């Protein structure tokens, strides 16, 4: 068994990229079942001179969109790794402006207690040196972690369960990032480095379990949930009555879901009114996220119960 020494993988690839892009790994996009390496400008982790691992696959075992997905899976030829480095890498032909980027992907993981799985975006400085900009880690114990507000360390933002499709979305504004799990805001943080995105990667540390990646979307105009103005919905938490109160200026509220900061749904309530009062007395003191649905659109509002 052997370790793979990895500092930073950069590759020269050619792909015509528009500001908006979707990758679903389908045959209609030119993908075929099997080794992902050299398919549509994807490469797998290097294992020496003129060598790349061949076990990271286009698979038809799982898919959130269509029939195929990208499967990152352990390779028996290599030992467990100290950090997630084994998987697939993709370079953008044209750098993505980091100040306004929206990136989304679906992920399905088969095992807890095995590998850490990680999504990363990276950029380059003027000399071509590579730096990570966005990091999302699916921990082997079931936590989803992102880099904290200081850009110094991973902190837990949500949780995941095995054999479940999740959508992860990162919306960047300047150097700030808002993370969403299944359209629910779970954390706000900062870019690790302020560089335009030049590549992305999905990797693991070879401990066990598989992750399927699908429906990668870059700057898709339909991604952002902020489709109605926050000004149209007023809200406040009433400490005396322990209620969370909403009022829509123009339209009927159809549904309200309350989530913990870790992404667990704690209250769901249907509505058919422009006002809604939700009893949150059963909830512990802390920060919560209210996902409000109006006219088929959603808005996520953060509030604190104290």
Could you please state the CATH topology (level 3) that the domain comprising 21-218 is classified under. Jelly Rolls (2.60.120)
Every domain of the chain with CATH number 2.60.120.560 lies at 21-218
pLDDT tens digit string along 95-138? 998 888 899 999 999 999 999 999 999 999 888 888 999 999 99
**76 or 249, higher pLDDT:** 76
Contact by Cβ (8 Å): 91, 16? no
Give the range among 153-167, 197-211, 232-246 with minimum mean pLDDT: 232-246
* Rounded-to-integer distance, Cα 146 and Cα 190, Å: 10
* Rounded-to-integer distance, Cα 292 and Cα 182, Å: 14
Among candidate residues 265, 210, 168, the one with its CA nearest the CA of residue 57: 210
| Measured distance between the N- and C-terminal CA atoms of the chain, rounded to whole angstroms | 54
Q: What is the mean pLDDT of residues 192-199?
A: 91
* Rounded-to-integer distance, Cα 219 and Cα 14, Å: 20
Predicted confidence band of residue 16 (pLDDT cuts 50, 70, 90): very low
Contact by Cβ (8 Å): 81, 115? no
Could you please state the CATH topology (level 3) that the domain comprising 230-305 is classified under. Immunoglobulin-like (2.60.40)
Res 232: pLDDT: 66
Res 17: pLDDT: 33
Give the range among 26-35, 42-51, 217-226, 286-295 with minimum mean pLDDT: 217-226
The share of the chain scoring above pLDDT 70, in percent, equals 89
Residue identified by tokens 């700030």 is 176
Every domain of the chain with CATH number 2.60.40.3080 lies at 230-305
Tokens representing 50? 């003129």
Residue identified by tokens 């992920």 is 107
**184, pLDDT greater than 90:** no
pLDDT tens digit string along 67-83? 999 999 999 999 999 99
Secondary structure string (H, E, C) spanning 169-224: EEEEECCEEEEEECCEEEEEEECCCCCCEEEEEEEECCCCCCEEEEEEEECCCCCC
């Amino acid at each position: 068994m052997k370790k793979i020494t990895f500092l930073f993988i950069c590759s020269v690839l050619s792909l015509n990229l528009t500001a908006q892009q979707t990758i679903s790994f389908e045959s209609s996009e030119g993908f075929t079942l099997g080794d992902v390496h050299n398919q549509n400008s994807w490469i797998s982790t290097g294992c020496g001179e003129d060598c790349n691992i061949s076990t990271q696959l286009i698979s038809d075992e799982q898919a959130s969109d269509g029939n195929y997905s990208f499967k990152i899976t352990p390779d028996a030829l290599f030992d467990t790794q100290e950090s997630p480095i084994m998987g697939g890498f993709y370079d953008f032909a044209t750098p993505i402006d980091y100040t306004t980027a929206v990136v989304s992907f679906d992920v399905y993981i088969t095992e807890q207690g095995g590998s850490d799985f990680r999504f990363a975006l990276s950029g380059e400085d003027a000399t071509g040196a590579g730096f990570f900009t966005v990091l999302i880690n699916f921990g082997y114990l079931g936590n989803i972690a992102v880099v904290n507000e200081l850009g110094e360390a991973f902190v837990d933002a949500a949780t995941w369960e095995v054999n479940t499709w999740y959508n992860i979305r990162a919306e960047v504004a300047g150097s700030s990032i808002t993370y969403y799990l299944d359209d629910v805001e779970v954390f706000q943080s900062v870019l690790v480095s302020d560089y335009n995105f030049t590549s992305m990667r999905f990797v693991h540390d070879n401990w066990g379990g598989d992750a399927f990646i699908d429906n990668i979307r870059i700057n898709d105009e339909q991604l952002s949930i902020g489709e109605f103005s926050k000004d149209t919905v007023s809200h406040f938490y009433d400490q005396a009555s322990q209620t969370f109160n909403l009022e829509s200026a123009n339209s009927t509220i159809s549904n309200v879901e309350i989530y913990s900061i870790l992404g667990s749904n704690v209250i769901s309530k249907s509505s058919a009114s422009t006002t809604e009062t939700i009893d949150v007395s059963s909830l512990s003191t802390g920060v919560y996220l209210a996902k409000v649905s109006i006219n088929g659109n959603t808005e996520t509002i953060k509030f604190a119960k104290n």
